[in-house]
Amino acid sequence: MMPSLIQPLFDGPLDIVGDVHGEIDALRSLLGHLGYDEAGRHPHGRRLVFVGDLTDRGPNSPAVVDIVSTLIDSGRAQCVLGNHDVNILLDHRKPENKWFWGEEFFDGQGRVVPQVLANVATQQRVLGLFRRLPIALARDGLRIVHACWNDEMIGIAKGASDVVNLYNQHHELIECSFPDLELDEIDQGLEHQNKNPVKRLTSGPEERVGNPIDAGGKIRNEQRVEWWNAYQGVFCVFGHYSIPEGRPHGNGSAFCVDYGVGKRWTERRDGKSSDFSCKLGALRFPERVVVFDEG
Ligand SMILES: [Mn+2]
Which pLDDT score, from 0 to 100, does residue 212 have?
A: 87
The second-level CATH assignment, the architecture, of 6-150+226-292 is: 4-Layer Sandwich (3.60)
Domain residue ranges in the chain: 6-150+226-292
| Ligand 1 center from residue 239 Cα (angstroms) | 7
Q: Tell me the CA–centroid distance for residue 243 and ligand 1, in Å.
A: 12
Q: What is the pLDDT of residue 248?
A: 66
pLDDT digits (tens, 9 = 90+) for 242-260: 986 656 677 789 999 999 8
Q: Give 43 Cα–ligand 1 centroid separation in angstroms.
A: 31
Cα distance from N-terminal residue to C-terminal residue, the chain: 43
182 CA → ligand 1 middle, Å? 31
Please tell me the predicted confidence (pLDDT) of residue 247.
Answer: 60
Taking the centre of ligand 1 as the mean of its atom positions, its distance from the CA of residue 23, in whole angstroms, is: 14
Give residue 135 CA to ligand 1 midpoint distance, Å: 12
Q: Measured between alpha carbons, how far is 215 from 180 in angstroms, rounded to an integer? A: 32
Distance CA 141, CA 139 (A): 6
Question: 30-60, pLDDT tens digit by residue?
Answer: 999 999 998 999 999 999 999 999 999 999 9
Q: 179: CA distance to ligand 1 center in Å?
A: 31
Q: CA-CA distance, 62 to 53, in Å (whole number)?
A: 12
Centre of ligand 1 from the C-alpha of residue 83, in Å: 5
Q: Whats the size of the chain, residue-wise?
A: 295
Q: Alpha-carbon Rg of the chain, whole angstroms? A: 19
